[in-house]
């Protein structure tokens, strides 16, 4: 009797001890996760996720209040990285593959007020007061801030037209 | 002689008999020619003619731009009617900028074009330049600018020039006919290219299902120091890696160019184009196109001016026997489905096929039964079923670690799959997906840097403003104090 | 525009259904011959298995919301049922077919995810389960000689199938060769004595004059079917050869060392279900490794295990156990035996660039 109880008891103790140790050693601090997530984000503080800043959004995501795919300008790359960090499954369906868009300025009605230029988080708009502004396509993240502030409505997000170079095969239906 | 054993491959029915008895005929001018500015890999050409301008046959109408590019020439004399978008010969069917030319039927040559009297006396660099300015690209279908390939091979120094007469795609017989009808020009073109890259030897590889072409090329190559070899017929024998290995025994290392291993491969049709450019002063303005498939009434080979719309080609040369299930540009294995029949013939068009449902012979995809047919068929030694399974699970990185980047897209696996799985489609989808992710990641990187820079700038500006204000306040205070103290 | 269709725009004619049809064709001669050997009950059993398998398949496909028609057409369930029937004792009762096909199709195949997803060979796994659950029914063999003397007519055939062993007339049952050798060796009789006592000639095994399940009776016809499949390139030679070698070589070796205790290689090859396994079971693509070398290793393992179980295990026949065991090693084999990618070393690094100066 004792022969069978003792080893089992010993085994139990040992495993319990190991688990305890593991939970200490492998403990991940919550706030650390938030910081790590923040590092994955674009850092443009664009507010498209509904949070006031990227930092706040990262906190919310770490606390499970936001889904991994919360960041629209980050796209799928960021969503995947965040999901990986949190060990959550990525619900790709929630990531409605929005067509990439770019800000475009209608030259006829731009009055050169520089408001868009001031709010752009990536300095993708160039131009000085009273002059026509231009958008740098590769720096624009389509966050839409400029659209909000433009007094004449001349700046809009338009879908990027597909070219032979950007076209790729779709997922085959199976 | 011991020949290195090739792996994989499939034996699709050749259907070459449909068109290989038909000699190459000159195709008449269409009413309109559409010359896309992008008929090659690399940067599109820049148009140098204006709408309404009269051009002569062979005249440069769009010049190359950047290092990897190729110019476009007028296939005949006529008037430029438009510079507008036209359906691209591309699976997407997206529009591409094209020059619309209305032929005047006079066929007046550009007088500035003149053959070189003794091209072999020219320095190799000069030869490469001339080949480039004739707009020659790889005519086997890859359409990589020939001069760029020759130039880099010359710099790198290659030992062996291989002429690809494999034509392993079913249906296509344009190279076969060309080898039978113009073997001398092909060999001369090969010697010119040999001179251009200073290669030690030239080998022509021809699949053994083309005995007449083999005999013709053998005869023409006699005493020219060109080696002609027959290679077993098997798809994809005409693929660079496979043919190079069979002919030279060299297995081209992954992620390297053939030139790094001292080999350069060109298609036989490219060799003929080189000959025509240098010895006849004729830039690349037409090519041989195979018209085949059982949905057509008359199959055959035609020398077609570039820019001729496919509809014109089919209507004039054949007409449909029955409604085609699919229209294809190129061969059935690696060719593309035509978005519509307005698509023009371009430099890379080796064939226009109209296939019946029976010829395509596919079904709804079913589950993979792990039959390993694809593993056996893959010439690259990959495991298509594993890659496909991972891609379907969305694990692209795993697929890449299994060798996705080594896939040459030959389609042998999809051809053989008893479950009709679209394996190559999955691979190309994954490749595109990985590329776009990389782009996204790079953009994210950049965005982050830009946002940070802006953040820093804002902080700095705020501080500067703060300091300025402080300085002003201090100055004001001093002033006030100064005003006070003397009183 | 709709999404364009990706190439290739030509496909080989070897669709799954066509391949399965070839397999059935290859199985036909051996099956017909065993019908002749064992009479109506055998045919009833075979038919029952086929119909039931299709029923289970359809039922579970519908349950899992898969297209029933398309999957039934591919013929995979039919082939599984056919092989299943060949693995049962020829006069097995009807409910053995019911349970067997349920296990094979529903449990082993559909629950694991359907065609292409099952880890174990359905027929073999089902046989193992039946053997453990119903040892008596699964080892009641019929002696072909007895059937030849007085073959049951249709009515008594139906009675045998549907009333089970109670309807089995006396004097029909007999032991398989492997049973006999095992039992006698256990009692210390030398192999040669047992065999000569049984009047054993290898040719008997070839033409099926020994009791056994349907598919164990006629090695020659199974071999013929296998060669046909090889010729039509439906199967590859690696796994069958591996299996035959794996069983025959150690058997021959041990028999040379101690001929009185262990029967030789030829005996093992022709006895039991080895031929069936070689050409119709280890060649099942779903449960075999995907590389040529992997398949050889897989076959070798199956053969070796079969011989080990037959020789040292408790059961006289070990093919089913061996195949199941090796099935579970397939992921491992596939992981370690991979083709080398063109232009790369086995580890996956690019080959070093060698300036080609070969002639
Ligand atoms: S050929 Fe098709 S069914 Fe066979 S293993 Fe490959 S993907 Fe699976
Ligand atoms: S398409 Fe790629 S994976 Fe398929 S056979 Fe060709 S190289 Fe192999």
Spans of all domains in chain A: 32-86, 101-159
Section C208-227 average pLDDT: 79
Cα first-last separation, chain A: 60
Do C145 and C198 touch, CB atoms closer than 8 A?
Answer: no
Q: Residue C94 — left, alpha, or beta (φ > 0 → left; ψ -120 to 50 → alpha)?
A: alpha
Gap between the Cα atoms of A118 and A124, Å rounded: 10
| Mean pLDDT comparison of A90-94, A96-100, C173-177, highest-scoring range | C173-177
Tokens of C248: 């025959």
CA of B412 to the centre of ligand 2 (A): 6
CA of B278 to the centre of ligand 1 (A): 49
Gap between the Cα atoms of B452 and A54, Å rounded: 12
Contacts of B433 (CB under 8 A, 6+ apart): A168, B396
Tell me if residue C262 falls in helix, strand or coil.
coil
Q: Does any domain span residue B54?
A: no
- Burial of B195-222, coded b for 16+ CB within 10 Å and e otherwise, reads bbbebeebbbbbbebbeebbebbbebbe
Gap between the Cα atoms of A122 and A106, Å rounded: 20
pLDDT tens per residue, range C188-205: 777 777 777 666 666 666
Tokens of B231: 């290679």
Residue B1 has pLDDT above 50, yes or no: no
Count how many Cα atoms sit within 13 Å of the Cα of residue B259 in the half-sphere of its side chain.
Answer: 14
DSSP, residue by residue, B334-388: T-EE-S-TTPBP-TT--EEEEE-HHHH------------HHHHH-TT---HHHHH
Count how many Cα atoms sit within 13 Å of the Cα of residue A164 in the half-sphere of its side chain.
Answer: 21
Number of domains present in the structure of chain B: 2
Do A6 and A14 touch, CB atoms closer than 8 A?
Answer: no
Section B337-357 average pLDDT: 92
Same domain flag for B125 and B258: yes
pLDDT tens per residue, range A20-42: 888 777 776 656 788 888 888 88
How far, CA to CA in Å, does C232 sit from each of A71, B232, C6, C51, C148? 56, 21, 29, 28, 35
CA of B293 to the centre of ligand 1 (A): 27
| Mean pLDDT comparison of A50-54, A164-168, C293-297, highest-scoring range | C293-297
Do B453 and A87 touch, CB atoms closer than 8 A?
Answer: no
Residue C358 has pLDDT above 50, yes or no: no
Say yes or no: B428 contacts chain A, CB-CB below 8 A: yes
CA angle C284, C239, C346 (to 5 degrees): 105
User: Chain C residues with CB inside 8 Å of B92's CB?
Assistant: 1, 4
Gap between the Cα atoms of A11 and A155, Å rounded: 69
Residue B392 has pLDDT above 70, yes or no: yes
DSSP designation for B100: E
Q: Report cis status (omega within 30 of 0) of the bond before C8.
A: yes
Q: Which of B88, B426, B455 is the closest to A172 by Cβ? A: B426
Section B133-156 average pLDDT: 88
| Among chain B residues, CA nearest to C15 | B418
> CB–CB of B429 and A170 under 8 A?
yes
pLDDT tens per residue, range A50-66: 888 888 888 888 888 88
Count how many Cα atoms sit within 13 Å of the Cα of residue B392 in the half-sphere of its side chain.
Answer: 15
User: Chain C residues with CB inside 8 Å of A170's CB?
Assistant: 3
CA of B135 to the centre of ligand 2 (A): 31
Q: Which of B248, B368, B419 is the closest to C356 by Cβ? A: B248
Mean pLDDT of chain A: 80
Lowest mean pLDDT among C76-90, C138-152, C336-350: C138-152
Residue C310 has pLDDT above 80, yes or no: yes
Section B289-308 average pLDDT: 93
Probe site for chain C from B363, B418, B421 (most C CB atoms < 10 A):
B418
Say yes or no: B425 contacts chain C, CB-CB below 8 A: yes
Per-residue pLDDT band at B207 (split at 50, 70, 90): very high
Listed by number, the residues of chain B in 24-63 with a beta carbon closer than 8 Å to a beta carbon of chain A are: 38
Residue B120, domain CATH: 3.40.50.11540
Q: What pLDDT sits at residue B306?
A: 95
Gap between the Cα atoms of B377 and B383, Å rounded: 10
Q: What pLDDT sits at residue C28?
A: 92
Lowest mean pLDDT among B19-28, B226-235, B395-404, C265-274: C265-274
Residue B457, domain CATH: 1.10.1060
Do B294 and B324 touch, CB atoms closer than 8 A?
Answer: no
pLDDT tens per residue, range B145-181: 998 889 888 888 899 999 999 899 999 999 999 999 9
Q: Which of B141, B162, B167 is nearest to B20 (CA)?
A: B167
Lowest mean pLDDT among A126-140, C51-65, C250-264: A126-140
Do B264 and B240 touch, CB atoms closer than 8 A?
Answer: no
Q: Which of B425, B333, B335, B418 is nearest to B387 (CA)?
A: B425
> CB–CB of C339 and B381 under 8 A?
yes
Per-residue pLDDT band at B75 (split at 50, 70, 90): very high
Give the class (CATH, top level) of A101-159: alpha beta
Probe site for chain C from B94, B239, B254 (most C CB atoms < 10 A):
B254
Q: Does any domain span residue B312?
A: no
pLDDT tens per residue, range B408-429: 999 999 999 999 999 999 999 9
Does ligand 1 lie within 6 Å of residue B412's CB atom? no
Q: What pLDDT sits at residue C180?
A: 73
Gap between the Cα atoms of B201 and B36, Å rounded: 36
Q: What pLDDT sits at residue B3?
A: 46
Q: For chain A, which chains pass the contact test of at least 3 CB pairs under 8 Å?
A: B, C
CA angle B51, B55, B60 (to 5 degrees): 95
Section A130-141 average pLDDT: 77
- CATH of A32-86, picked from 1.10.15.40, 1.10.1040.10, 1.20.120.530, 3.30.160.40, is 1.10.15.40
Residue A105 has pLDDT above 80, yes or no: yes
Same domain flag for B142 and B261: yes
Say yes or no: B314 contacts chain C, CB-CB below 8 A: no
Q: Does any domain span residue B218?
A: yes
Burial class of B105 by CB neighbour count within 10 A (0 to 12, 13 to 18, 19+): exposed
Give the nearest ligand 2 atom to B410 CA. Answer: 6
pLDDT tens per residue, range B45-58: 999 999 999 999 99
Residue B406 has pLDDT above 80, yes or no: yes
Count how many Cα atoms sit within 13 Å of the Cα of residue B359 in the half-sphere of its side chain.
Answer: 27
Å between C341 CA and nearest CA of chain A: 25
**A32-86 and A101-159 in the same fold:** no
φ, ψ at B87 (rounded to 5°): -55, 130
Q: What pLDDT sits at residue A29?
A: 60
Å between B428 CA and nearest CA of chain A: 6
Q: Does any domain span residue B353?
A: no
Better-predicted residue by pLDDT, B223 or B4 = B223
Tokens of C244: 């035959």
Q: Which of C13, C85, C5 is nearest to C233 (CA)?
A: C13
Residue B4 has pLDDT above 80, yes or no: no
User: Chain B residues with CB inside 8 Å of C74's CB?
Assistant: 366
Section A9-14 average pLDDT: 88
Å between A35 CA and nearest CA of chain B: 15
Burial class of B307 by CB neighbour count within 10 A (0 to 12, 13 to 18, 19+): buried
Ligand nearest to the CA of C6: 2
Say yes or no: C13 contacts chain A, CB-CB below 8 A: no
Does ligand 1 lie within 6 Å of residue B378's CB atom? no
Per-residue pLDDT band at C171 (split at 50, 70, 90): low
- Using only C-alpha atoms, chain C has a radius of gyration, in whole angstroms, of 22
Q: Pick from B417, B423, B430 the residue to mutate for probing ligand 2's pocket: most ligand atoms within 8 Å of its CB.
A: B423
Residue A93 has pLDDT above 60, yes or no: no
Q: Does any domain span residue B2?
A: no
For chain B, give percent helix, strand, coil, nearest 5.
40, 20, 40
Say yes or no: C9 contacts chain A, CB-CB below 8 A: no
Q: How many CB pairs under 8 A join A and B?
A: 78
Lowest mean pLDDT among A135-139, B258-262, C202-206: C202-206
Tokens of B193: 């290219």
Residue B486 has pLDDT above 60, yes or no: no
Per-residue pLDDT band at C359 (split at 50, 70, 90): very low
Same domain flag for B139 and B248: yes
Gap between the Cα atoms of C16 and B399, Å rounded: 25
DSSP, residue by residue, A106-168: -TTT-----HHHHH-TT--EE--TTS--EE-TTT-----HHHHH-SS--EEEEEPPP-TTT--
**Residue B193 is part of which domain span?**
16-26+115-289
Q: What pLDDT sits at residue B405?
A: 93
Contacts of A70 (CB under 8 A, 6+ apart): A49, A57, A60, A61, A79, A82
DSSP, residue by residue, C273-340: THHHIIIIITT-STTS-SSHHHHHHHHHHHHHHHHHHHHHSSSS--HHHHHHHHHHHHHHHHHH--PP
CA of B174 to the centre of ligand 2 (A): 25
Do C90 and C42 touch, CB atoms closer than 8 A?
Answer: yes
Of B246, B269, B289, the one marking the end of a domain is: B289
Mean pLDDT of chain B: 90
> CB–CB of A42 and B453 under 8 A?
no
- Which runs of consecutive H residues, i.e. helices, occur in A41-119? 54-62, 75-86, 115-119
Burial class of B269 by CB neighbour count within 10 A (0 to 12, 13 to 18, 19+): buried
Tell me if residue C248 falls in helix, strand or coil.
helix
Q: Report cis status (omega within 30 of 0) of the bond before B210.
A: no
Better-predicted residue by pLDDT, A22 or C174 = A22
Gap between the Cα atoms of B203 and B275, Å rounded: 17
Tokens of B144: 């990589």
Section C315-330 average pLDDT: 90
Q: What pLDDT sits at residue C314?
A: 78
Q: What pLDDT sits at residue B404?
A: 94
Q: What pLDDT sits at residue C206?
A: 66
Do B86 and B100 touch, CB atoms closer than 8 A?
Answer: yes
Q: What pLDDT sits at residue C2?
A: 61
pLDDT tens per residue, range B32-43: 999 999 888 888
Residue C167 has pLDDT above 80, yes or no: no
Q: What pLDDT sits at residue B457?
A: 86
Mean pLDDT of chain C: 84
Section B250-257 average pLDDT: 88
Residue in the block written with tokens 């009797």: A1
Section C7-13 average pLDDT: 88
């Amino acid at each position: 009797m004792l022969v069978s109880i003792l080893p089992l008891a010993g085994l139990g103790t040992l495993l319990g001890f190991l688990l305890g140790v593991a939970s200490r050693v492998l403990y991940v601090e919550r706030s650390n996760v938030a910081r790590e997530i923040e590092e994955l984000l674009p850092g443009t503080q664009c507010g498209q996720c509904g949070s006031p800043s990227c930092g706040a959004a990262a906190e919310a995501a770490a606390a499970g209040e936001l889904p991994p795919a919360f960041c629209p300008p980050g796209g799928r790359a960021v969503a995947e990285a965040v999901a990986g960090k949190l060990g959550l499954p990525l619900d790709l369906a929630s990531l409605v593959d929005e067509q990439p868009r770019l800000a475009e300025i209608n030259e006829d009605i731009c009055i050169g007020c520089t408001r868009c230029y001031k709010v752009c988080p990536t300095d993708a708009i160039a131009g000085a007061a009273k002059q026509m502004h231009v958008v740098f396509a590769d720096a624009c993240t389509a966050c839409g801030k400029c659209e909000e502030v433009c007094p004449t409505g001349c700046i809009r997000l338009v879908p990027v037209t597909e070219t032979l170079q950007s076209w790729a095969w779709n997922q085959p239906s199976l | 002689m011991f020949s290195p054993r090739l792996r994989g491959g499939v034996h699709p029915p050749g259907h070459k008999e449909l068109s290989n008895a038909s000699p190459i005929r000159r195709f008449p001018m269409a009413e309109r020619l559409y010359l896309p500015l992008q008929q090659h890999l690399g940067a599109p050409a820049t148009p140098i003619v204006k709408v309404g301008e009269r051009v002569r046959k062979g005249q440069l109408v769009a010049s190359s731009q950047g290092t990897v590019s190729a110019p476009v020439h007028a296939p005949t004399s006529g008037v430029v009617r438009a510079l507008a978008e036209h359906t691209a010969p591309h699976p997407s069917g997206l529009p591409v900028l094209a020059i619309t030319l209305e032929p005047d039927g006079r066929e007046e040559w550009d007088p500035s074009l003149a053959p070189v009297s003794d091209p072999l006396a020219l320095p190799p660099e000069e030869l490469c330049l001339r080949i480039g300015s004739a707009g020659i690209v790889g005519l086997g279908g890859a359409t990589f600018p020939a001069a760029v390939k020759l130039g880099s091979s010359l710099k790198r120094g290659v030992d062996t020039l291989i002429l690809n007469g494999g034509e392993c795609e079913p249906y296509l017989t344009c190279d076969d006919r060309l080898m039978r009808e113009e073997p001398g020009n092909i060999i001369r073109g090969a010697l010119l290219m040999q001179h251009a890259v200073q290669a030690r030897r030239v080998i022509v590889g021809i699949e053994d299902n083309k005995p007449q072409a083999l005999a013709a090329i053998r005869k023409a190559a006699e005493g020219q120091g060109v080696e002609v070899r027959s290679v077993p017929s098997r798809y994809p024998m005409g693929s660079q890696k496979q043919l190079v290995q069979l002919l030279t025994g060299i297995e081209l290392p992954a992620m390297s160019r053939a030139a790094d291993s001292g080999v350069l491969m060109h298609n036989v049709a490219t060799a003929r184009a080189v000959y025509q450019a240098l010895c006849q002063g004729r830039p690349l303005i037409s090519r041989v196109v195979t018209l085949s498939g059982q949905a057509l009434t008359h199959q055959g080979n035609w020398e077609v001016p570039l820019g001729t719309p496919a509809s014109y080609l089919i209507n004039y040369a054949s007409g449909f026997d029955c409604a085609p299930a699919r229209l294809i540009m190129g061969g059935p294995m690696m060719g593309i489905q035509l978005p519509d029949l307005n698509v023009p013939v371009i430099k890379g068009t080796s064939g226009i096929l109209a296939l019946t449902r029976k010829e395509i012979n596919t079904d709804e995809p079913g589950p993979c039964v792990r039959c390993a047919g694809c593993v056996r068929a893959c010439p690259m030694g990959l495991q298509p079923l594993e890659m496909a399974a991972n891609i379907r699970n969305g694990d692209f990185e795993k697929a890449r670690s299994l060798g996705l980047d080594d896939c040459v897209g030959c389609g042998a696996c999809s051809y053989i799959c008893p479950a009709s799985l679209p394996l190559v489609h999955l691979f190309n989808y994954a490749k595109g997906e990985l590329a776009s992710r990389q782009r996204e990641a790079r953009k994210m990187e950049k965005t982050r840097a830009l946002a940070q820079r802006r953040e820093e700038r804002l902080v700095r500006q705020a501080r500067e403003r703060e300091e300025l204000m402080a300085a002003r306040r201090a100055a004001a205070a001093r002033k006030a104090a100064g005003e006070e103290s003397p009183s | 525009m709709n999404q364009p269709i990706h190439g290739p725009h030509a496909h080989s004619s070897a669709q799954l259904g066509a391949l399965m049809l070839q397999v059935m064709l290859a199985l036909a001669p051996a099956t017909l011959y065993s019908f002749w050997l064992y009479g109506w009950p055998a045919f009833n059993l075979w038919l029952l298995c086929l119909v039931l398998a299709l029923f289970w398949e359809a039922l579970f496909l519908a349950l899992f919301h898969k297209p029933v028609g398309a999957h039934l057409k591919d013929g995979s369930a039919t082939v599984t049922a056919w092989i299943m029937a060949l693995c049962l004792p020829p006069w097995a009762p009807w409910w053995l077919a019911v349970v067997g096909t349920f296990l094979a199709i529903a449990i082993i195949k559909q629950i694991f995810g359907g065609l292409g997803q099952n880890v174990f060979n359905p027929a073999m796994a089902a046989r193992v389960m039946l053997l453990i659950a119903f040892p008596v029914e699964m080892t009641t063999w019929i002696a072909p000689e007895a059937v030849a003397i007085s073959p049951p007519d249709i009515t008594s055939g139906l009675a045998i199938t549907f009333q089970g062993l109670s309807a089995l007339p006396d004097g029909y049952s007999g032991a398989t060769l492997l049973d006999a050798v095992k039992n006698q060796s256990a009692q210390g009789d030398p192999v040669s004595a047992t065999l000569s006592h049984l009047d054993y000639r290898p040719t008997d095994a070839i033409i099926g004059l020994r009791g056994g399940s349907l598919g164990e009776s006629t090695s020659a016809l199974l071999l013929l079917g296998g060669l046909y499949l090889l010729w039509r390139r439906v199967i590859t030679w690696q796994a069958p050869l591996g299996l035959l070698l794996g069983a025959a070589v150690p058997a021959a070796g041990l028999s040379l060392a101690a001929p009185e205790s262990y029967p030789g290689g030829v005996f093992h090859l022709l006895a039991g279900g080895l031929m069936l396994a070689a050409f119709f079971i280890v060649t099942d693509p779903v449960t075999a490794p995907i590389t040529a070398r992997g398949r050889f290793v897989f076959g070798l393992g199956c053969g070796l295990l079969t011989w080990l179980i037959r020789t040292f295990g408790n059961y006289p026949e070990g093919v089913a156990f061996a195949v199941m065991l090796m099935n579970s090693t397939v992921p491992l084999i596939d992981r370690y035996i991979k083709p080398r990618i063109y232009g790369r070393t086995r580890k996956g690094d690019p080959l070093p660039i060698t300036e080609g100066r070969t002639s």
